Amino acid sequence: MPAKKSAEQDSHKPPLICMREVNKFFGTFQALDKVSLDIGASEKVVICGPSGSGKSTLIRCINRLEQHDAGEIMIDGVTVDDSAAARAVLRNNVGMVFQQFNLFPHLSILDNLTLGPVRARGMAPAAARELAEYYLERVRIPEQMQKFPDQLSGGQQQRVAIARALCMEPRIMLFDEPTSALDPEMIAEVLDVIGELAATGMTMIVVTHEMGFAGHVADKMVFMDHGRIVEMAPPKRFFSKPESDRCKIFLQQILRN
């Protein structure tokens, strides 16, 4: 239904997301250390690394959940800061899915989905409802619109959260460990939905430990450690011959499970 923006990558255009030497401190702890990363339109990037390595902080800086201390982040050519222009660019381009779903517990599934479109995008309620129905169908949760989040399983909640983000019709989706809080039997249903979304040409950044999924979906693998990007490669090379020792050890540990 909603028209997707052109998916093909144009080498003459600047990348959709552009991070230059981004630093982020929490007190004295440096969460990001001169991180530079370019992501083109419809590119899929999977970020992995040990906990505390800055993966989440990186994507949270992109949509301004965290304010970076130095360096520059640009989305579609607009610098991400507190300006109205940056807010508009985030509103029109960036959606996010959280580890803990963060659905609004006091609102029905339908209201969870239409709140953003109606209040932030100024959509008419009827149109927003249609949009919500469309995306609920896409994440395979039809006919649950009047229920409340706590009446759904974890996997269903996370798929609703994905639909909520999609209702803003973003070009970029950020996933912050979307399956880490799920029971094992529910991981597949969520990864399937994310995989389908990847096939539509959505630009995606996914922080995850699901390496099977990553190898399948990613155009680019990023390994982070101590706030730095240690390794960046297409998945084939990334998994077969990682260059750094830290990445090798990490992959051995994570693939053993």
Whichever of 120 and 255 has its CB closer to other proteins, that residue is 120
Q: In the chain, which residue ranges form alpha helices assigned H by DSSP?
A: 55-62, 84-93, 109-119, 125-138, 154-166, 184-199, 211-217, 235-240, 245-256
Pick the binder of other proteins from 4, 119, 140, 236 (CB under 8 A). 119
Q: Rounded to 5 degrees, what are φ and ψ at 123? A: -80, 150
Q: How many CB atoms lie within 10 A of CB 12?
A: 4
For the window 59-98, what string marks contact with other proteins as x by the rule CB under 8 A?
A: ----xxx---------------------x--xx---xx-x
- For the CB of residue 26, give the shortest distance to other proteins in the complex, in Å: 14
Pick the binder of other proteins from 102, 130, 226, 246 (CB under 8 A). 102
Q: Which stretch binds other proteins (CB under 8 A): 4-12, 111-119, 135-143, 221-229?
A: 111-119
Measured over all CA atoms, what is the biggest interatomic distance in the chain, rounded to whole angstroms? 55
By the rule CB under 8 A, 106 interacts with other proteins: yes
- For the CB of residue 64, give the shortest distance to other proteins in the complex, in Å: 8
Q: Which residues contact 102 (CB under 8 A, 6 or more apart)?
A: 161
Q: Going edge to edge, which strands form the sheet with 70-75?
A: 29-39, 17-26, 70-75, 78-79
- For the CB of residue 109, give the shortest distance to other proteins in the complex, in Å: 11
* Strand 203-207 to 172-176 pairing: parallel
Question: What span, in angstroms and rounded, lies between the C-alpha atoms of 114 and 121?
Answer: 10
Question: 139-178: which residues touch other proteins (CB under 8 A)?
Answer: 148-150, 161, 164-165, 167-168
Instruction: Please count the residues of this chain forming the interface with other proteins, following the rule CB under 8 A.
Output: 29
Q: Which residues contact 186 (CB under 8 A, 6 or more apart)?
A: 153, 154, 155, 158, 179
Q: DSSP secondary-structure letter at 61?
A: H
Six token digits for residue 24: 């982020």
Question: 25-64: which residues touch other proteins (CB under 8 A)?
Answer: 63-64
Whichever of 64 and 216 has its CB closer to other proteins, that residue is 64
Pick the binder of other proteins from 6, 79, 100, 253 (CB under 8 A). 100
By the criterion CB under 8 A, which residues form the site for other proteins?
63-65, 87, 90-91, 95-96, 98, 100, 102-107, 115-116, 119-121, 148-150, 161, 164-165, 167-168
